[in-house]
Amino acid sequence: MAKRRILAASTAAAVVLVLGACSGGSTGGDDGDGDGPSGTITVLTNRTDIVDTVLQDYVTEFQKTYPDVDVEFEAVTDYEGDVSIRLNSGDYGDVLLIPNTVDADQLSTFFEPLGTVDELGEEYRFIHDKAYEGQVYGLATFGTAMGYVLNKPVWEKAGITEPPATPEEFLDALKAIKDSSPDTVPYYTNYADGWPLTQWQSNQGSIDGPEAVNLRTEQDAPWTEGEEQYAIDSLLFDVVEAGLSEPDPTTTNWEESKNLVGTGQVASMVLGSWAVTQMQDAAEAAGNPREDIGFWPMPWQTDGAFHSTVGADYKLAISKHSENKEAAEAWLYWFLDESGFAASQGGLAPQVGGESPEILADFETFGVEEVEIAPAPEGEENLLADIYNAAEIDLNGDQFRRQYIDVARGAADGDKASFFADLNDRWATARAEVVG
């Protein structure tokens, strides 16, 4: 497929897709005369909860502009695991969310370039982490802020009405919840599904600021007290070790966890702000006020202020193997710019200048400052991934966190000091190999 160029129209509704030679130079719009995109495309989604409802409504609206394009969805429960495996088969639909397991230098193998960083950066936020060598391969469905979802009445019953400012205060808060509401699980790991554990890593930058990821490539011992990586993983370890999480993490269930938070049977979970509306829906379904569900920043401050890392939720991309890239592109941009999906999920608009969602009202109240991770220097886009891959530490995954949760709950040998020392040793060795 020839290189495309995106022209921004004067209204937010119009993004004209000017296609190269492979599509005969056709525009993305369609007036029903058969000159626009046509055919059937398959869209992979992780949203098993709305695939038969909300997403179908979107198709109805989409076809008012593109009547000759049929959209079929394939909902994938274990999206990260299953789609990561399917990428190597070439059979992964036409439009899909880029799995987090795909490193920067692999993007061009699986996905179509959408435009340059300079071009797309004028219209969209959060473009750097799925870009490589100046080309963007995925655009955010919406932005998300990091922190933790909480059931406010449960926290208020324990006497906590504002966010804890230190890890120690956070642990004390969970202990107070356990004492005041013995039938409530203070913190829920979602260990069994695995992918929710990856949300912890998305808090990088909330202590070290925008250069957090680049700083980590210069560190030989990130799991040392005083370092941001230590703070993130130490807190989860300590929560589990103190018996403040579910009794048996192997039995957790993501879909059920929404109901547990919504009904106050679980007090909190570290997630992105994208999760709030889902928990609110669960609360409402149980007859409780949506306002029961809140979202607070992580329990640490820098220069006297809370910080929340903001970034993209999943990035929407076009398969390199799609046989209908024109129709795929029409869906991708319509979904981003016209569907209203970001607002419906309480997400930050992916467009430059978009508004913050109402669910982040507490962030304004408590003076939470946003942090957006800086891109890696040119030529070092894959440096961090090279280090953690060589160390065999899935920094953005869930396995090593499952391992230390097992240590923390006494299901595996060792303690925090020995586990983190091993991580540091492997990291330092890998960094020496990669950096030289």
Chain mean pLDDT for the chain = 90
**106 three-state secondary structure:** helix
Cα torsion 333, 376, 369, 141 to 10°: value is: 20
What does each C-alpha distance from 61 to 10, 70, 390 come to in angstroms?
21, 12, 47
Closest CA to 237 of 418, 396, 384: 418
DSSP letters spanning 16-62: EEE--GGGTT--S---SSS-S--EEEEEEES-TTTTTTHHHHHHHHH
Enumerate the β-bridge partners of residue 116.
135
In one-letter notation, the amino acid at residue 48 is: T
**Cβ partners under 8 Å of residue 106, min gap 6:** none
Residue with tokens 């060792």: 414
pLDDT, tens digit, 9 for 90 and up, residues 42-64: 999 999 989 999 999 999 999 99
Q: What is the pLDDT of residue 34?
A: 59
Task: Give the residue, 24 or 146, on which the prediction is more confident.
Answer: 146
Q: Which of 10-14, 154-158, 426-430 has the lowest mean pLDDT?
A: 10-14
* Long-range Cβ pairs for the range 339-345 (8 Å, 24+): 339/58, 339/61, 339/62, 341/58, 341/141, 341/142, 342/141, 342/142, 342/143, 344/54, 344/277, 345/142, 345/274, 345/277, 345/313
Nearest residue to 276 via CA among 369, 346, 183: 346
Where does the pLDDT of residue 2 fall: very low under 50, low under 70, confident under 90, or very high at 90 and above? very low
Give 3's pLDDT tier (boundaries 50, 70, 90). very low
Q: How many CB atoms lie within 10 A of CB 286?
A: 12
pLDDT range class, residue 41, cuts 50, 70, 90: very high
Residue 5: pLDDT over 70: no
**Mean pLDDT confidence for 334-339:** 96
State residue 29's pLDDT score: 40
**Is the model's pLDDT at 21 over the cut of 90?**
no
**Summary count for the chain: helices (H), strands (E):** 16, 16
Return the pLDDT at 16. Answer: 27
Residue 105: DSSP 8-state: G
Residues across the chain: 436
pLDDT for 93 beyond 90? yes
pLDDT band at 101 (very low <50, low <70, confident <90, very high): confident
Among 120-134, 253-267, 401-415, which stretch is predicted with the lowest mean pLDDT? 120-134
| Residue with tokens 């022209």, as numbered in its chain | 7
- The alpha helices in 158-227, defined as continuous H runs, are 167-180, 212-216
Q: Is the pLDDT of residue 187 over 60?
A: yes
428 residue type, one letter:
A
Please check the confidence at residue 30 and state whether its pLDDT lies above 80: no
- Please give the average per-residue pLDDT across 169-175, as a whole number: 98
315-318 and 95-97 beta bridge pairing = antiparallel
Percent above pLDDT 90 for the chain: 83
pLDDT of residue 378: 85
Strands 135-136 and 39-45: unpaired
Count Cβ atoms within 10 A of the Cβ of residue 431 and give its class: 0-12 exposed, 13-18 middle, 19 or more buried: buried
Confidence class of residue 356 from pLDDT cuts 50, 70 and 90?
Answer: confident
pLDDT at 228 over 70: yes
**Token reading at 54:** 């909300």
- Name the DSSP class of 360: G
Cα–Cα distance measured from residue 330 to residue 26, given in angstroms and rounded to the nearest whole number: 11
For the cut 50, the answer to whether the pLDDT of residue 428 exceeds it is yes
pTM for this prediction: 0.79
* CA pair distance 92, 84, nearest whole angstrom: 9
| Among 349, 80, 344, CA closest to 196 | 80
Average confidence (pLDDT) over 8-13: 28
Mean pLDDT to the nearest integer, 186-209: 96
Domains of the chain: 37-141+312-357 (3.40.190.10)
CA distance 408 to 233: 11
- 237, 300, 343 from 205: Cα distances, Å: 19, 12, 25
d(CA 136, CA 127): 7
Confidence (pLDDT) at 238: 98
Beta-carbon count within 10 A of 422 CB: 16
pLDDT of res. 24: 28
At position 10, the amino acid (one-letter code) is S
* Chain segment 268-319, per-residue pLDDT in tens: 999 999 999 999 999 999 999 999 999 999 999 999 999 999 988 899 999 9
Banded pLDDT at 20 (limits 50, 70, 90): very low
What's the gap between Cα 327 and its chain centre? 26
Asked if 291 and 317 count as a contact pair (C-beta separation under 8 A), the reply is no
What's the confidence (pLDDT) of residue 353? 87
